[in-house]
Structure 1
């Protein structure tokens, strides 16, 4: 018997094979779509984060380091213990160890507050100017390095933007130095370079006094400028800071000094602990015309928690609270964009704080408040630390570009800068008359 194959047998067998191919293609496309959606949701935070604002805040703080721009714990260590660390245990509460109103910072509360990185202030008082500011700055840098080393299971001393992220990935608090007061380097660029070499990564151009080359915030308040911002030599300081990669901190300076610096600098500036002048008209805060320049510059305004800079006319109330701090953050976002906002608490440098922000343990509550106000996960991450890290990286790029082509500036400040009496303690070895 001869078997005859039907002519349409091949067609009958080919049809399932074609259907399988089509089905596999469709499944592949579906998988690609699912992956793309998952990636998009991951970038936005998606539904993987808890809906409760406080729990969501904590989840985001596990993902991105909260970088606080200013904490004055080193000053309290100097005032109360003369920097003798054997007399204080940072695992114990400091609430009863400092003057009334202070004691905001210790290791348990830093951990509770989920602090990811901290600029510790090496504060130099205005009374040190023309006397021993460099020695005092070095003492404060020394104590910062010593306590971060003593508690190395908690802190890691870092000097780069990447160092912040590396420490965070080790579950350590990246610890950096900010020198508070431009008089700390005593108007000598060599001293400024040495501060950078020992680890300082920002200098606050002035404190609440003029340097011999820049006006402080009181000049705007009292309308009595000495230089109208920066002197010619002060402009040189800004250029050398750019060349070094030292972040320029404009908290404490006059409005004119803000404008002059923003005109000159090639790197983003920071305000390590200042708020919005339009919300609280204190001259330590940042006015709108400066905020516009900060936006162009790519700088970051790190909101201060101090009662006097948060709660004052035109929008003052009987008692300051966490919502007012959030108002400042919202306002800064509206004026210079979400990329310009950060956090600079000023803990242990101020004695009156808003209700709800009494110490370093309360940072998650502030982030939760911003989430309640509709801030996206991406915006929260920028506020937490991504903005500061970006600005820091940009300053490093400017450093790499300038330092490869420009020698260190070596011009000395004119001898007649500042009051003549302030030069009596100086020994000008190159001048035989002194």
Structure 2
């Protein structure tokens, strides 16, 4: 049997989903849990070698305001959830007996993948837990934080997250606040990758003007195919290409389907259309995977990590070379992180 192609993925919501589920989160990840899309046994069996493990703050309040925005999360509640998820990632790593590695450099990612250890990168999706003094960023960096999205799709003190709107481009809301601009400068100083997924257009432009690092959208698709506000426009894709950045394909159906519908029967051909478009627009060296496993609705052909190899097989049948598939599967992510982190 041919060995699976190693996959390093740009986004999953394992941590928040584990903590919202039954007790024993560490055991559920390490020994397997049927309600999860990513767990260690299935990852090991399918060549899913690691990825950016997101800390995401949940809230019961889903009431939209007059602008279509979700309400901001109070900072104390966000801090509690952020620390709980960060601690969970550290406990999983410690209890795994080497089967999971918390990686802080590209060299550590490569070493973990070579050893068959799940290469986890500590990522935050929406930094509602921080205050304008940014002291928390220094503390979290010391705890392993290496990538950060200033917002999820709701406003916070740093920026205006793009609302979920089908049929509208991401030009919704204002740009970075003064604190948000300070945040980007600090991320550059600490070599924390800034993730542009969930940024609106004004925030994207502000970050592009400030940042000296490659522009990255970890889990966004082509707006030209699926006109959803969460997807990247041609102008944004060009900016990503011009900085040597990266865009990761989101597996979520509503960000893939041209009509934005939650179609459980959507085929891999739609994912291929997005990959083809992204490769044509930004180049093969700047396209990767950003699944959004355990964080969004997916089609039956992409049930969990076990199905990612089917997508890679579809790329091979579509004419992509082994080298190109390896780039999309893992090499582009590791190379982009190395350029951003400088190690």
Q: Same fold (TM over 0.5)?
A: yes
Determine the structure 2 residue equivalent to 1:115: 48
Report the CA distance shift for 1:135/1:311 in structure 2 as closer, same or farther (over 3 A): same
Corresponding residue of 2:28? 88
The structure having more radius of gyration, on CA atoms, is: 1
* Stretches (4+) displaced over 4 A: 219-226, 314-318
Residue 272 (structure 2) pairs with residue 326 (structure 1):
yes
Matches of residues 131-210 of structure 1 in structure 2 within 5 Å?
131-210=76-155
Q: Does 1:129 align with 2:74?
A: yes
Question: Any stretches of 5+ residues in structure 1 without a counterpart?
Answer: 1-53, 401-434
Whether contact under 8 Å (1:280, 1:316) holds in the other structure is no
What do residues 87-108 of structure 1 show as CA deviations (whole Å, max 9, x unaligned)? 636323x22xx4xxxx212222
**Structure 1 residues 114, 318: closer, same or farther in 2, change over 3 A?**
closer
| Displacement after TM superposition at 1:268 (Å) | 1.1
More helix by share: 1
Bigger drift between 261-270 and 335-344 goes to 261-270
Partner residue, 2:12: 71
Q: Would the alpha carbon gap of residues 156 and 284 (structure 1) be closer, same or farther in structure 2, given more than 3 Å must change?
A: same
Shift of 1:148: 2.2
Rounded to whole Å, the distance in 1 between the matches of 2:263 and 2:295 is 22
Q: 1:281 to 1:337 in 2, by over 3 A?
A: same
Counterpart among 259, 276, 279 of residue 225 in structure 2: 279
Alignment of 1:5-404 (within 5 A): 55=2, 58=3, 61=5, 65-81=6-22, 84-85=24-25, 88=28, 90-92=30-32, 94-95=33-34, 98=35, 103-125=36-58, 128-218=73-163, 221=168, 225-226=172-173, 228-313=174-259, 319-350=265-296, 352-397=297-342
Aligned length: 329
Do 2:146 and 2:193's aligned partners in 1 also have CA atoms closer than 8 Å?
yes
Change (3 A) 1:372 1:195: same
**Partner SS state of residue 184, structure 1:** coil
The 1:222–1:303 alpha-carbon spacing in structure 2 relative to 1, beyond 3 Å, is closer
Pairwise CA RMSD of aligned residues?
2.5
Alignment of 1:402-417 (within 5 A): none
CA distance in 1: counterparts of 2:15 and 2:27, whole angstroms = 14
The DSSP-based 3-state class of the residue aligned with 1:188 is coil
